[in-house]
Amino acid sequence: MFPCSSILELTSDEIYSFSSCDPDYLELLKYYSSLFDYSAMNQLVYEGVFSYEYLFWWGINEEWEAYGRINPAIPMRWLAISKRALQWDYMPSNFHPWALAILESFDLPRYQAAYHLPLDEFTAIEQDLPVVLKGVRNYPKEKLAAPMDEDNWGLVD
């Protein structure tokens, strides 16, 4: 899905071996809320100016390298965007296997031991991970959306 990376790379033990990780799960949730949930954006979706499909791609595209290149925040980023996908009931067919693999490989106790997340970050991830993982696992195959654009990361906005 992303150039120069693979699911194996993004699910590797390397996730747990960085010297530090800035806790940003709660910030990601706030970012997606501010980006997607304000009334003007909802009005634009209602009017057909934007679609959820475009907004979903755009949300990832804004920082595609943070989702598609090995870094310590990979599990938090994929958890946050997968939570949004489930909220919208929009799961692109090429996104689903990546989200599933990354979330299934997310060892939260090991992650906490490596990065010592603040309690509020850890608690939010601990609460969301099983719910989001179950939702992604059980997402009906017949409801998977068309694949999202894989060729224009960072190029077309």
Per-residue pLDDT reduced to its tens digit, 94-111: 999 999 999 999 999 999
Task: Let me know if residue 2 belongs to a domain.
Answer: no
Inter-residue contact 55 to 45 (CB < 8 Å): yes
Give the angle subtended at the CA of 91 by the CAs of 89 and 97, to the nearest 5°.
Answer: 145
What's phi and psi for 127, nearest 5 deg? Answer: -75, -40
Specify the pLDDT at position 3: 78
Task: Let me know if residue 57 belongs to a domain.
Answer: yes
Specify the pLDDT at position 137: 98
Q: Can you say how many angstroms the Cα of residue 145 is from the centroid of all Cα atoms in its chain?
A: 16
Inter-residue contact 98 to 7 (CB < 8 Å): yes
Task: Let me know if residue 106 belongs to a domain.
Answer: yes
Task: Let me know if residue 98 belongs to a domain.
Answer: yes
Task: Let me know if residue 50 belongs to a domain.
Answer: yes
Task: Let me know if residue 108 belongs to a domain.
Answer: yes
Specify the pLDDT at position 156: 56
Domain tally, the chain: 1
pTM of the predicted structure, to 2 decimals: 0.91
Residue 104 domain boundaries:
22-142
Specify the pLDDT at position 12: 95
Per-residue pLDDT reduced to its tens digit, 29-58: 998 887 777 677 777 777 877 777 877 888
Burial degree of 150 (CB within 10 A; 0-12, 13-18, 19+) = middle
